[in-house]
Amino acid sequence: MTQKTIVMNDKNLIAGIDIGGTGTKIGIVDFDGKIIAQALIDTREFSTMELFVSACIKKISSLSNLHRLAGIGIGAPNGNYYSGCVENAPNLPWRGKLELAGEFTKQSGLKAILTNDANAAALGEMMFGGAKGIGHFFYITLGTGVGSGIVADGKLIYGHDGMAGELGHTIAVKGGRMCGCGRKGCLEMYASVRGLVLTARELISQYPGQSALESKIDFSAKDISDAAKNGDAIALKTFDITAEILAISLANASAVTSPSHIFIFGGLAKSGELLMVPLKKYYEQSLLNVYQNKVCLSVSELPDSDAAILGAAALIRNYFM
């Protein structure tokens, strides 16, 4: 591998960290994208960000000799690539502006690069997954929220302020559902795991007595998926509505950068064809004719459990390539 020669001496490993509100995943990754060791720590255990970073580095040291590491890549909600900071991430236990990349470097002496989780995953897909060699693509994460990484001309677009790629907070339904960001109708409120459940609940209240889901006090996206597989009309309609809203947003964003591929990842991607079949149909219908039948929509090739770590590691690999 040519890139190995670029990294000095025997520094041919990378620490990839995926910081989540509850758990933080840490992995040691080689330059071919193989995770050779990994661990999990509880994000909520630490009263300050500095203590958390210290624990992460201790864990990294237990997994690999620090001298073998080319750097530390970090994916975190609201992570800003340019500043290396996380600002006011609602689901992290520490408030204010967190200088995470700087703190990792300070405590470890290693190069540390931060970005948001969806951007990191997009890089991971580009380096280690199905987007190898693809210059223009979207990476869409449909989980608790909706995240996105936008790649054009082979480079992740960070924008002027490091905050590009927030498709989840584009307005998909004018005057629609209230979003946590304070605005109405964000894509995230429709195309996330939570959005799917909300849509199913709305349909059930509109068409009572027509879905097996109604018998459950509470139901999850997986329950909707299972019901749809059994032919439940309400569950199928839920996927259809979700797919159409997501498709129009993706088609509109496609007219900005004209990607050749869109990779779907996260909880909703697990629904497979239930989502992807109507998504492809509505996506093509919503595209201008010059874009039609050119874009490949598919589920991400990254293994679910590894994607976040690989994505974070890709930040460092990208830096040295």
- The residue among 2 and 289 lying less far from its own copies, judged by its C-beta, is 289
- The residue among 32 and 161 lying less far from its own copies, judged by its C-beta, is 161
Q: To the nearest whole angstrom, how small is the minimum distance from the Cβ of residue 228 to its own copies?
A: 24
- The residue among 146 and 227 lying less far from its own copies, judged by its C-beta, is 146
What distance in Å separates the CA atoms of residue 232 and residue 237, rounded to the nearest whole number? 9
- The residue among 163 and 212 lying less far from its own copies, judged by its C-beta, is 163
- The residue among 16 and 259 lying less far from its own copies, judged by its C-beta, is 259
Q: To the nearest whole angstrom, how small is the minimum distance from the Cβ of residue 257 to its own copies?
A: 5
Binding site for its own copies (CB under 8 A): 78, 135-136, 150, 152-153, 155, 157-167, 169-171, 174, 181-183, 186, 248-249, 251-253, 255-260, 285-286, 288-291, 294
- The residue among 13 and 250 lying less far from its own copies, judged by its C-beta, is 250
Q: Please give the DSSP secondary-structure letter assigned to residue 251.
A: H
Q: To the nearest whole angstrom, how small is the minimum distance from the Cβ of residue 127 to its own copies?
A: 19
What distance in Å separates the CA atoms of residue 152 and residue 234, rounded to the nearest whole number? 38
* Long-range contacts (CB closer than 8 Å, 24 or more residues apart) made by 100-105: 100/19, 100/49, 100/53, 100/74, 100/76, 101/74, 103/49, 103/50, 103/53, 104/53, 104/56, 104/57, 104/72, 104/74, 105/72
- The residue among 46 and 158 lying less far from its own copies, judged by its C-beta, is 158
Is 157:138 a contact under the CB 8 Å cutoff? no
Q: Please give the DSSP secondary-structure letter assigned to residue 78.
A: T
Q: To the nearest whole angstrom, how small is the minimum distance from the Cβ of residue 145 to its own copies?
A: 12
- The residue among 72 and 142 lying less far from its own copies, judged by its C-beta, is 142
Is 129:300 a contact under the CB 8 Å cutoff? yes
Q: Are strands 86-87 and 69-75 parallel, antiparallel or unpaired?
A: unpaired
Distance of CA 103 to the CA centre of its chain: 23
Q: To the nearest whole angstrom, how small is the minimum distance from the Cβ of residue 129 to its own copies?
A: 18
Q: Are strands 86-87 and 97-98 parallel, antiparallel or unpaired?
A: antiparallel
Q: To the nearest whole angstrom, how small is the minimum distance from the Cβ of residue 214 to its own copies?
A: 29
CB-based contacts of 314, cutoff 8 Å, min separation 6: 16, 33, 73, 120, 123, 124, 126, 127, 128
Q: To the nearest whole angstrom, how small is the minimum distance from the Cβ of residue 159 to its own copies?
A: 2
What distance in Å separates the CA atoms of residue 243 and residue 237, rounded to the nearest whole number? 10
Is 183:171 a contact under the CB 8 Å cutoff? yes
